[in-house]
Structure formats: C-alpha cells, structure tokens
Structure 1
Amino acid sequence: MEFDDWLAMQDKHATPHMTLGFTFYFKSETMHVWPGRYSLDAGSRVFLGANATGAIGSISNLEFGYGRPKETTTLVMSGLDQRYFALAENQDSEVRGRKAEIFILAFGTGVLGEEWKLAAVSLEATREMDKLSSSLNHDEGTSTITLTMQPLGSMRWRPAHGLITDEDQRARFPGDRGLERVGLVQYSRPLDFS
C-alpha cells in the first residue's frame, strides 16, 4: 500500500501508528534497522529489530521538509552486535561519505487485529553518513554507537575550501587563475585578478 493511501484511510480521530526505519549503506554491507523488537518484512527489504541488531536508543535533530537549516542528524544505538564496532574502527573507508536513508514505517491496515501489521513504507530523507563513534559506560556496563549524518552535499566533514586547492587547479590547468581566491567566493565578493 502506498503511504498516501494509508494516510487517507486513517480515521481523523485515531492516532496513527508510525515509527522510523533506517537503511545504512556501509561499504562492506547494507543494514536495515528499526527501533522495534523483531524483524519487519517490508517487501524489498527486511528491517532488523532489537533481537537481531540491538536497540536504537535515541534520535536527535531529525528534521524533514524543505528550506530547513542543514542540521546534523544523530542516531544513538545500544545493545549492538560486534559488526557495528568493527565498522566504527574502520569508519574512514566503511562509513564516511556513504548514503543512509530514513523511512517512515506505518502500521495498521484498517482491519481489526492488524493494528501493528506493516501497511506502508515512505522514504522521507536521504543523508550522508559522517562519523560512527563508539563509547563504553563502565558503571552501567553498556556500550553505545553514535552515528552522525549530514544532508546530502553538505560535506561538513571536509575541511573549509578543501575541495580544490590552488595547487591542484594549477597542476591540472596551467595558467588558470580562477580559484586563487576561492575563499572570497563563498562571501560573494567581487574578484579582482589584476
């Protein structure tokens, strides 16, 4: 069922049952997770729940819509298996710059007894993974993984003016002076090459 069809059939006085699902395209594998307990079959993908991967503990700065500021999305997960910690150790090759998708998972088909049956999946946002860090709380005996994501194209993990340097440009195109003052371009100042 399409998400719009599911939304249209909802009773305007009822509370719709929805949650988030995530797909992480790591270099070595693709993971589909959701904050539920069991695996959830969505047709083309199976979202793994806490029994298979661990629990998604908290999500912060998750914004949808157009014209929003470029916010960092942070996803905190705990009770995870060793795969995530191995990914955190090799994050430069496994995580940074790779795609992550955020879905809304809608439940309830309108039939009595099927209130928690998956009815629709809607892709709401695509992000670029930036950093996967792990931490251990010795007092509580828990370990967590924190995944930081950026909007596509934000490239905040790159250094300022780190896309093309003057030296790179001159090596590729001798005599070209177009990027000599690239720092001024972002502030829309007129450039004087005389």
Structure 2
Amino acid sequence: MTTTDPAPPETHLPPPARPSVPPPPRWAVRAAQVAAWSTVPSGLWRVALVLGVPVGVMEREEFLAGFPDDSPLLALAYVLLLGAVAEAASYLTLGLVRPWGEVMPRWIPLLGGRPVRAGLAVLAASLGALTVTVLWWVLLFGGLLTADSPDPGVSAGEVLFVAAYAPLLLWGPLLAAVTWSYHRRFHLVRAARPGT
C-alpha cells in the first residue's frame, strides 16, 4: 500500500489591509451639522414670504412682481427649488464626517460600494466653500451696505431678515474647516500606507 503525504494546506495571505480612516474630530462633526442646518432659516423665510406671511422687508406682491403674471405658484416652485438645492448642497457637508464620505452608499447606481476619491471630494468641497463664502458674504454685506436706508432705525422685519440670512455666512467657512479636517484624515491614511 502506498501512502502519499497529504498536500500541505495552501496558505493564502490576505492582501495587506488598507489602513482605516481615523474618525473625524468632534469639532468637525459639529461644524458639519451647523453647516448643514445653515440654509434652513433663509429657506423658511422665503417660503413664508411667498405664502403671504408678513416678513417685514418685502411684501408678497413686490416679490411676485418678478414672476410672469405675478404667479404665486411659479414663485412658490422657484422658492422651493432654490431651498431644495441649497439644502442638498449644505447636506453634502455631512459626507465629510460620515461613512458615506469614505465609501459610496450601495444604493447609488454604478458607484455604490466604491471608495470615495478623497482628492476629488476635497476639490469639490473646497470650490463649494469658496463659492458660498464669496456669494453670501458679498450678497449679504454688499446688499446691506448699498441699500437705501432713509430711516436710521432698524425695523423688526429687517431684524428677522438678517436673522434668517446670517447663518448662511457660516456655511462657507465651516465647510472649509470640515474639508480641511477630511483632507487631513485621508492624508494620515496615505502616510500610514507601506511604501509611500
């Protein structure tokens, strides 16, 4: 009888583990949350304006005059679309501190489950931070500085308007800070990889 030694078990070494991305710092998570909520007050102010709620700075009819046939339906659609775009854009800030900012969610067609390209995310977020910072700082302060103000007093409507739009001034700088944190976290991963 011949016996053969059993073949030694094949040893498969797993590929080297990709270093995990460190969790975001607590300040970055809070900053991302504030940035995501910064667009809500102005959106609510615009909806109130279109619905005829007195907001003190502008009357509904004055706002509607900018639309064909003074259409409240068209104005409401415009305001809701503008609010939805701003909310969606500000919500993306959370991706810089959440797992879906590292790996695409599975439900996204063609991209689901793939790692996010950190460099592209940082570039897009940096451009977004620059854009919204310049946009809101120029629009808000430029509008306030060039507005005719025959009355030296401040009305309640003006206070409401500024309170609704002032949070937008935080969006760009907070997005920039969170983007820097995201970049730093991925930079640490690259530095930890062997052979880099």
**Shorter-chain TM-score tier:** under 0.3
Higher relative contact order (CA 8 A, sep 6+): 2
Q: How does the TM-score come out when normalised to structure 1?
A: 0.24
More helix per residue: 1 or 2?
A: 2
Q: How does the TM-score come out when normalised to structure 2?
A: 0.24
